[in-house]
Chain A
Amino acid sequence: MIDRNMEIIDVDPRGFANFSAVFPHLSTVSPQLVLWHEEGIPRRMILDKEIQTVSISRVEDARQAAMMLYSRQEGKVRRVVVTDLEGYDSLYAAQNLWPEPDEDKYSYLCRVNQALIKTFDRNVAVYPEPTLDRGPVAFEKMRSFIGRQLPDQCCLIFAVFEEGELYFSFVARIRSHAADLITSFDHWGDTLAGIGLGSRDVEMAVEAVAAQYGPPACALFIERMDFERLYDGRLHEELPYSLILDSRAFGYPSLAEASEEAFLNTAGFFAYAPVRIP
């Protein structure tokens, strides 16, 4: 779980810039196709702000139309919305449910999605139906990622190196089974400055972090090329060469069982947590 009051401090700016440059686009809805119709007659179709030729003559049933457009796009779009102006207003209202004070984002977004689905009828529909379980780093995956059996106090370490030199790093502190702080090696100042991908340096990093935040439940040290290879759109049979010092955070008792998904979730966690705490 992620603590809703999680702090984010001392993140190395160069490292974050490197991370945001290489990490793939995180949006789970783009590219999105929107078809506007009036009483079934198509008026305008937009694919991520670009006007498209409307490929259907009439919208008899918005769900059917959305599914058809989705399949015709052959995987090029992640979502299709078919709506008239009244339906647009319904979607707008459904997306603005009264939130509860201190309601976590995940619960709220789940409620919103349910409300959106209830608005669907012959004039308005979204396909696939909105869910938080889609996309490269779905919220649900991230939630469960650190929801495993972890020590009461521990940490997660994730460091990527380019030709042996630090490219970016993230460290998460876990307290009472919730991540309550994210930082980077920059937090340790000169102690971890200039660290490389060598066993001695790695050992030093783990020791420094563990001394402050407790033992690592996951520590990944990986080369940039291997990191990027994880996002080439394919599922890999073998994990990239890397140092995995612990894998408890993945829910695997031994290193051999750790999967590629564990890497993806680790990266996703650090990518999403700062900007969208679920």
Chain B
Amino acid sequence: MKEITRREFICRVGAGSFLVAQATFSGAGCSGKKDVVRVSRSGFLIGGRVFPLYSGSFHYWRHERNLWPSLFDRLSRLGLNTVCTDIPWGVHETGRGSFDFGKADQRKDIGAFIDLAAAKGFKVLVSPGPQLNSELTYYGFPARVLFDPEISARTSRQTVEVHHSLGGQFPLPSYYSEKFYQEAGIYFDALMPILAARLPADGGPIISIQVDNELSFFHRLWSPYTVDYHPSALEQYRRKLEEKYEGRIENLNRCYGTSYDSFSTVKPPLRLSAEKVSDLPPYLDWVEFRQWSIIQARQRLVRMLVERGITGIPVFHSLPENFQTPINIPRSETGGVTRLYGINGHPGREDYSMEMELCRTEAGISSYPFRPAFGGGHWFTDRPVSREPEDVEFTSLACLMHGIKGINYYMAVERDRWLASPITRDSRIRKEYFRVYQRVIRFLRESRFQDFRKSVEIIFLYNNALDRLACAMEQGKISLNLNIGGEAFAETVDFGYHTSPEACRLWIGQTRDIMRKVGFDWNCGTTSLGADRLAEYRVAILPTIDFLYGEDLENLDGYIRSGGILVFGPERPYLDEKMETNAAIRDFFSRAESVETYHSLISRRSGEISGDNSRMKPGVRGNLICVASPLEISGLLKSLAVSIPFTRSNSYIDISLHEAPEGRRLLFIANGTERTQRTDIFFPGSHVFLNLLSGENLRGVGKVNIELAPYRVEVLEVNS
């Protein structure tokens, strides 16, 4: 494929600038001109057709060029339709402003790699960083950038914060540093013409581009008093406060109980020393600022791509596996320039419960729930590793069961510092692993899994207020050899709330346990989800403490107005994030019915309501119900007629139903325990079940009995 001309490139840059303006001011996303590739809940839309993403990572620069063709052939035999590769800045840079893209070292010819992928029938995902990890010593950066003091992030003590990687250590870069973006821009200037020439608009195979990787202060997003106290960070922090407090320092002083002369003198918190509710706003503002910064950094990098001609394709970003709200995904997906998010993960089978939660979250928040880096093999780790071939099948199917629609196996092709991939570094096949990957991909293709949607009526919301408070209370700073976590200082402070964060977390845990035991299925979301996304669910469950962010109230109110049922507990919020009594919040929640009142209301109305012609069942639309005790949740959901079309006798077994528009149904059944489990599966009427993995048939009236080996998922096609 030919490189684009300079003239064409400049035209695209011009178009890019226009698109940036659109993205920034209209919130229309990065693609002002018609997107060639778009995102749907089922997959990428290319030329109006759904393209489900079944991808594998293959790092071109780590393999001899003459091996590339046979490695692609192996990937093809595996059943994948896409390859994903990192493009590390530090690998290509030979000196500031000079780069090798294959002239000196043929392995670094990214253009030829992408062209060969296309010739072999693959679509391509590219990740140019700047941060990649890639298990490289400097995470994909050139050392000269990381060791530039102007670029280094600062701790609360104004030291650097050192990150320890496999081969060494480096000071964390600051994403607030202007020089950081200038340096990244030099790399992007050199690389992007190569990628821009291979976009779908020119018949190229690149369908999406990843910006940075797991942007979260290098996993320190949840340790707020570590980094980043870079001078530019503090400038932005003060500007953000000025915006929030409407440019009036007296507003801030009243809220903080301080006497600052101006915003330029406001000091960020260095550790939590709050003792009562009214002390909390500065800490919550700091946490909120750091989270806002992540989105800003990401969007700036996206704009840099767009300015260099990367248009017409979705930009995606991978979130770290320990994802917690509130990185405001829904809002930045719709209002910002990043179009798509996925959560990375390299789970072992013993991580099933956590993975279930992550997948439910992705299913609830992402435009296309896919795993940008899902464990295809693993790197070397201190913890005992269980990645037998059957574990790959279990973890893959468990993810699909709980809402994931697309996968990129990282790594499909093994290489230095990686093991247990289906294809070895030198193009051999690890037979047992290879067969398992083939079986999973074959299932996805033959079942046309992209046509199915997980059938859920409930969304469980993460509450920004609760999670930001928990983050603000995290004192931990030290890992490495001393490893003194925040739990050493996690003294329970009675701030004077009616409901403490601990009590609320207990409510969450118990409520979910009960729902799971009874057999309800759900997705997870955040209070930032727009009312339109929330409206896909009949019931939203919200854990609450005394305060709520005012902006979240709008979403929740919109949801109820559209007919949704908002169930919350254990507290009726009455404060806003400034810890001031907020009439709108107080009034909103004070009108909620208790479960008891609600039940009596239902019984009164049940005679009045006939038919079931809406998504609302027995007499309930747009309701707000307070569940003070988790014990009330099961009865309430039953009385709301939340359906459980299939249930089971053994509560160690999870089940999930996926439905396709033409009436096809897939029933996933999972045993996430280390013991063999037997269970009856109950259902109304009679059904024939075809096990799509084993090919066996099961037939039953009212129930069938099934045995599942430890860590096993079965997929049954349900036929009446």
Residues on A lying within 8 angstroms of B by beta carbon are 4-14, 16-17, 20-21, 26-30, 32, 34, 36, 43-44, 46, 49, 81, 83, 85, 88-89, 91-93, 95-105, 108-109, 112, 116, 126, 130, 189, 274-277
Contact = CB atoms under 8 A, between A and B. Distances in A.
B446 interface: no
A21 B386 CA distance: 9
Contacts of A12: 419
A41 B166 CA distance: 40
B3 interface: no
B483 A29 contact: yes
B477 A44 contact: no
A13 B482 contact: no
A13 B487 CA distance: 35
Contacts of B144: 101
A88 B415 contact: no
24 contacts: A5-B167, A6-B167, A9-B414, A10-B424, A10-B426, A11-B419, A12-B419, A13-B377, A13-B420, A14-B388, A27-B382, A36-B488, A43-B491, A44-B490, A49-B485, A92-B157, A92-B226, A95-B482, A96-B155, A98-B171, A99-B168, A103-B169, A112-B481, A275-B382
Given A8-B417, A9-B416, A130 B425 contact: no
B383 interface: yes
Scoring B419, B482, B490 by chain A CB atoms within 10 A of each residue's CB, the highest score goes to B482
Contact of A92 (B143, B477, B491): B477
B162 interface: yes
B428 interface: yes
Interface string B154-179: 01110111101011111100000000
Given A92-B477, A92-B478, A34 B387 contact: no
Given A13-B387, A26-B382, A277-B166, A130 B417 contact: no
A9 B169 contact: no
Contacts of A95: 162, 478, 480, 482
Interface in B369-419: 377, 380-388, 414-417, 419
B383 A17 contact: no
B497 interface: no
A277 B484 contact: no
Given A8-B416, A17-B385, A91 B168 contact: no
Given A13-B377, A85-B489, 14 more contacts: A8-B380, A9-B416, A10-B424, A32-B483, A81-B482, A88-B477, A88-B478, A89-B477, A93-B155, A95-B478, A99-B169, A101-B144, A112-B480, A277-B167
A105 B420 contact: no
Contacts of A96: 155, 157, 159-162
Given A21-B384, A85-B271, A95-B162, A101 B171 contact: no
B260 interface: no
B218 interface: no
A119 to B, nearest CB: 11
A274 B167 contact: no
A9 B425 contact: yes
Contact of A36 (B157, B480, B489): B489
A116 B482 contact: yes
Interface of B: 137, 143-144, 146-147, 155-157, 159-162, 164, 166-171, 226, 270-271, 377, 380-388, 414-417, 419-420, 424-426, 428, 430, 433, 475, 477-478, 480-485, 487-491
B155 to A, nearest CB: 6
A173 to B, nearest CB: 13
B484 A109 contact: no
A16 B385 contact: yes
A83 B477 CA distance: 14
Nearest to B227: A96
Contacts of A189: 428
A82 B430 CA distance: 50
A203 B38 CA distance: 59
B137 to A, nearest CB: 8
A130 B482 contact: yes
Q: Which 10 A-B pairs have the closest CB atoms?
A: A13-B420, A274-B380, A93-B157, A34-B488, A92-B477, A11-B419, A96-B159, A101-B143, A20-B384, A7-B416
Contact of A99 (B171, B381, B382, B414): B171
Nearest to A186: B424
A11 B288 CA distance: 44
A157 to B, nearest CB: 19
A105 B481 CA distance: 12
B166 A275 contact: yes
B156 A274 contact: no
A28 B481 contact: yes
A109 B426 CA distance: 36
Nearest to B170: A99
A247 B271 CA distance: 54
A277 B169 CA distance: 11
A25 to B, nearest CB: 8
Contacts of A97: 159, 162
Contact of A108 (B169, B382, B425, B488): B169
B482 A44 contact: no
B248 to A, nearest CB: 33
Contacts of B168: 4, 99, 102-105, 108, 277
Nearest to A130: B481
Contacts of B387: 13, 17
Contacts of B415: 9
A95 B381 CA distance: 22
B167 A4 contact: yes
Contacts of B156: 89
B687 to A, nearest CB: 39
A29 B485 CA distance: 13
A27 B481 CA distance: 9
A96 B226 CA distance: 11
Contact of B380 (A7, A14, A109, A275): A275
Contact of A49 (B147, B166, B487): B487
A23 to B, nearest CB: 9
Contacts of A26: 382
A10 B483 CA distance: 32
Contacts of B377: 13
A102 B143 contact: yes
Contact of B484 (A5, A27, A88, A130): A88
Contacts of B157: 89, 92-93, 96
A80 to B, nearest CB: 11
Nearest to A15: B419
A89 B146 CA distance: 24
Contacts of B386: 17
Contacts of B487: 46, 49
B529 to A, nearest CB: 33
Nearest to B156: A89
A13 B392 CA distance: 13
Contacts of B485: 49
A20 B387 CA distance: 11
Contacts of A4: 137, 167-168
Contacts of A20: 381, 383-385
Contacts of B271: 85, 89
Nearest to A44: B491
A58 B255 CA distance: 37
Contacts of A101: 143-144, 146-147
Contacts of A11: 380, 419
A109 B480 CA distance: 10
A36 B491 CA distance: 10
Contact of A17 (B388, B416, B430, B482): B388
